[in-house]
């Protein structure tokens, strides 16, 4: 398996534009996590899914952020409208069911909003 | 949710053994302890996991005392390439499954 795949690797957009980040989890993994990482706030859990269903979105910063998982092999994180303070690295991770297994992370998407 | 506390940063020299201790005073009975490593510009990577006593793999050892209120990640003979942030995670208690990362420990290995 190629691991967790995120796209794009880098995204530069203007304030007010819509941004969509994409993630393909490892096949067979039924948990998917979205994180945001900044120097100031560290690695923050935004939302996670189990079997394509959002379980906890309490980390989503505000209504401008939304995430979907239409099937087991694809998830999106959308920001609309984007703001400069959304600039960060966004990571996606997946893992199997069961509480004590390791999570695999993608390479991340570096988002810059100007 | 079990809260972890670990040093913000540590420095070491090449070839030394490094021990990073994490405290998790309110860890749940059925929680495991997991450590991740993150290099700059990469996502975190699983290193090791354990429940009690000692666990060893090709990368590190994990020591967990009987009361399980702390754990120590041991990296033998570090090299410059071990410079990274190391995170200690107990999973949340209850049926919810989360991977919540604290601030981690920035380990800098010096030549």
pLDDT per position as a tens digit, B36-80: 999 998 999 999 999 889 999 999 999 999 999 999 999 999 999
Q: Residue A33: exposed, middle, or buried by beta-carbon count in 10 A (0-12, 13-18, 19+)?
A: buried
**Predicted confidence band at B2 (pLDDT cuts at 50, 70, 90)?**
low
3-class SS at A62? coil
**Predicted confidence band at B1 (pLDDT cuts at 50, 70, 90)?**
low
**Mean pLDDT over each residue of chain A, to the nearest integer:** 94
CB pairs under 8 A between A and B: 57
Suggest the residue from A10, A95, A103 to mutate for an interface test with chain B (most B CBs closer than 10 A): A103
Does A50 sit within 8 Å of B99, measured CB to CB? no
What is the mean pLDDT of the segment spanning A8-26? Answer: 98
Q: Is residue A80's pLDDT more than 90? A: yes
**Predicted confidence band at B96 (pLDDT cuts at 50, 70, 90)?**
very low
Place of tokens 């053994």: B17
Candidates A42, A95, A99; nearest CB to B101: A42
Q: Is residue B93's pLDDT more than 60? A: no
Strands A74-79 and A19-24: antiparallel
* Residue A3: Cβ within 10 Å count: 14
Contacts of B104 in chain A (CB under 8 A): 42-43
Secondary structure of A78-94 in the HEC alphabet? Answer: EECCCCHHHCEEEEEEE
> Is any Cβ of chain A less than 8 angstroms from the Cβ of B43?
yes
- Nearest alpha carbon to residue B19 among B2, B7, B33, B36: B7
Place of tokens 């009361």: B67
pLDDT at A57: 92
Q: Is residue B95's pLDDT more than 80? A: no
Does B102 sit within 8 Å of A99, measured CB to CB? no
Suggest the residue from B33, B99, B101, B102 to mutate for an interface test with chain A (most A CBs closer than 10 A): B99
- CA distance linking residue B87 with residue B106, whole number of Å: 9
What is the mean pLDDT of the segment spanning A36-49? Answer: 93
Tokens of B65: 């005392």
pLDDT at B88: 92
- CA distance linking residue B58 with residue A102, whole number of Å: 16
pLDDT one-digit tens code per residue, B10-42: 999 999 999 999 998 888 887 888 999 999 989
What is the mean pLDDT of the segment spanning A62-69? Answer: 95
Q: Is residue A98's pLDDT more than 70? A: no
Q: Is residue B97's pLDDT more than 90? A: no
Which residues lie below 8 Å from residue A43, measured CB to CB, with a gap of 6+? A35, A36, A37, A91, B38, B44, B87, B101, B104
> Is any Cβ of chain B less than 8 angstroms from the Cβ of A39?
no
- CA distance linking residue A44 with residue B84, whole number of Å: 18
Per the CB < 8 A criterion, the answer to whether B40 and B71 are in contact is no
Q: Is residue A24's pLDDT more than 90? A: yes
- CA distance linking residue B35 with residue B72, whole number of Å: 10
């Amino acid at each position: 398996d190629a691991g967790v795949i995120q796209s794009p690797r880098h995204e530069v957009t203007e304030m007010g534009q819509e941004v969509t980040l994409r993630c393909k989890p490892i096949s067979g993994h039924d948990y998917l996590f979205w994180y945001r990482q900044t120097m100031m706030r560290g690695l923050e859990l935004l939302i996670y899914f189990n079997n394509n269903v959002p379980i906890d979105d309490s980390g989503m910063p505000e209504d401008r952020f939304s995430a979907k998982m239409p099937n087991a092999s694809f998830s999106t994180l959308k920001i609309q409208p984007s703001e400069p303070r959304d600039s960060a690295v966004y990571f996606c991770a997946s893992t199997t069911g069961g509480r004590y297994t390791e999570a695999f992370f993608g390479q991340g998407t570096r988002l810059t909003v100007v | 949710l079990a809260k972890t506390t670990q040093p913000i940063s540590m420095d070491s020299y090449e070839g030394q053994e490094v021990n990073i201790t994490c405290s998790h005073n309110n860890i749940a009975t059925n929680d495991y302890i997991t450590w991740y490593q993150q290099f700059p510009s990469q996502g975190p990577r699983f290193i090791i996991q354990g429940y009690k006593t000692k666990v060893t793999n090709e990368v590190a050892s994990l020591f967990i005392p009987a009361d399980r209120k702390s754990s120590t990640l041991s990296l033998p003979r570090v090299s410059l390439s071990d410079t990274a942030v190391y995170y200690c995670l107990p999973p949340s208690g209850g049926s919810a499954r989360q991977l919540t990362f604290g601030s981690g420990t920035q380990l800098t290995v010096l030549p």
